[in-house]
Amino acid sequence: MKITIACVGKLKEKYLTAALDEYVKRLQPFCKLEIVSINEEKMPQEPSDAERNQILEKETRRLLAIIPEHSYVILLDLQGKQITSPELAEKIDGLALQGVSHITFVIGGAFGYTDALRKKADFRWSFSKLTFTHQMIRVLLAEQIYRAFKISKGEKYHW
C-alpha cells in the first residue's frame, strides 16, 4: 500500500519533526509513505473576505495539483465523519480488498481550503470537534495510520 500525506507548509518545530520522523520510520514495514507539502500562503493580519478567499483558492489549487492520480482521497475536514481507530483500520483494509493501492490523506492549511477540495475527496474525516494546528495534525495523522496498521495486523500497540 502506498500512502501520501498532502499538506500545507513545512514543520517548523523540532519536536514535531522528530515525532513525525519516528512514525515514518515505524510505518516502513506496513506501507510506502510519502509526505508532499506545498508552501503556505502569507495571510494578512486582518484579511478581508476577498483576500482570505483568494489565498484559500491558491492553496487549494496547489493541493489539488499534488494529489496523485487514481489515489483514494481522504480529506481531513472539520465537517467530516468522526471515526474510531479500529474503524480507520477497517477502512484501510476495506480499500485494500477493493484493490485500492494508493491512499492520499489531505491536510489543509491554517485557514482551511475551498469546496473544490471537498468535491475531490472520496471520504471526509474529522479527527475531532477540537481544533488542532495543521502542523500538529500531521503527527497525529501519521500516528493514527500506524495504529491502524498495527490493529489490522493484530499486533499489540497500546498497553
For 2-6+30-39+50-152, which CATH superfamily applies? SPOUT methyltransferase, trefoil knot domain (3.40.1280.10)
Calpha distance 5→83 (Å, rounded): 18
Residue among 57, 62, 78, 3 at smallest CA distance from 34: 3
> For 29-71, how does the pLDDT look when each residue is reduced to its tens digit (9 = 90+)?
999 999 999 999 888 888 888 998 999 999 999 999 999 999 9
Each residue of 132-142: b (16+ CB within 10 Å) or e?
A: eebbebbbbbb
Q: Which amino acid is at 122?
A: D
Question: What's the pTM value of the predicted model, to 2 decimals?
Answer: 0.94
Calpha distance 131→44 (Å, rounded): 21
Delimit the domains of the chain by residue range. Answer: 2-6+30-39+50-152
> For 118-140, how does the pLDDT look when each residue is reduced to its tens digit (9 = 90+)?
999 999 999 999 988 888 999 99
Contact at 8 Å (CB) between 58 and 41? yes
